[in-house]
C-alpha cells in the first residue's frame, strides 16, 4: 500500500503505511479518543502495535492532555521496534527514550 505522496519519514504506522498527518486528521475529524478507534478509522495501530505510543500521544495532544512520557513508555514502550522515531516527538532522556 505504498503512497508516493507520503514522505517516508512521515510514516508513523509502518505496518499500514499511515502517516502522521492521516492519523491526526482522523483523530481531529472524528474526535477519536482511543487507539482502537484510530485503528478502525485509518488502520494505524492494527498490526504490530509498535506505533501505539505515538497514536496515544496524538490522542492526548488532540484532547489537550499533557502526555506523561514515563507512563506512555511504561504502557507502550515494550511494543516499540524502532525507538529512533520517538526522538521527533519526545525530548531525549536516558529514562524515557532508550537509545535504539
Ligand atoms: S507500526 Fe503501526 S501497527 Fe505496526
- Quick one: average pLDDT of 2-10? 63
Between vectors from CA 41 to CA 36 and to CA 46, what angle results, nearest 5°? 50
All 3 cell numbers of residue 93? Answer: 532522556
Residue at 67 is within a domain? yes
- Cα(79) to ligand 1 centroid in Å equals 9
Say which CATH number the domain at 35 has. Answer: 1.10.10.1100
Residue at 33 is within a domain? yes
From 10-14, 74-78, 91-95, the region with the lowest mean pLDDT: 91-95
Residue at 62 is within a domain? yes
Domain region containing 71: 8-88
Report how many domains make up the chain. 1
The answer to whether the CB of 17 is under 6 A from ligand 1 is: no
Q: How much is the pTM?
A: 0.82
| 17-50 per-position pLDDT tens digit | 999 999 999 999 999 999 999 999 999 999 999 9
Residue at 84 is within a domain? yes
| 45-90 per-position pLDDT tens digit | 999 999 999 999 999 999 999 888 889 989 998 888 777 778 888 7
Amino acid at each position: 500500500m505504498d503512497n508516493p505522496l507520503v514522505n517516508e519519514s512521515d510514516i508513523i504506522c509502518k505496518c499500514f503505511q499511515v502517516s502522521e498527518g492521516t492519523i491526526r486528521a482522523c483523530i481531529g475529524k472524528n474526535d477519536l479518543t482511543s487507539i482502537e478507534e484510530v485503528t478502525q478509522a485509518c488502520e494505524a495501530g492494527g498490526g504490530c502495535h509498535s506505533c501505539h505510543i505515538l497514536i496515544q500521544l496524538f490522542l492526548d495532544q488532540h484532547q489537550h492532555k499533557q502526555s506523561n512520557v514515563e507512563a506512555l513508555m511504561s504502557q507502550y514502550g515494550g511494543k516499540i521496534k524502532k525507538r529512533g522515531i520517538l526522538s521527533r516527538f519526545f525530548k531525549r532522556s536516558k529514562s524515557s527514550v532508550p537509545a535504539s
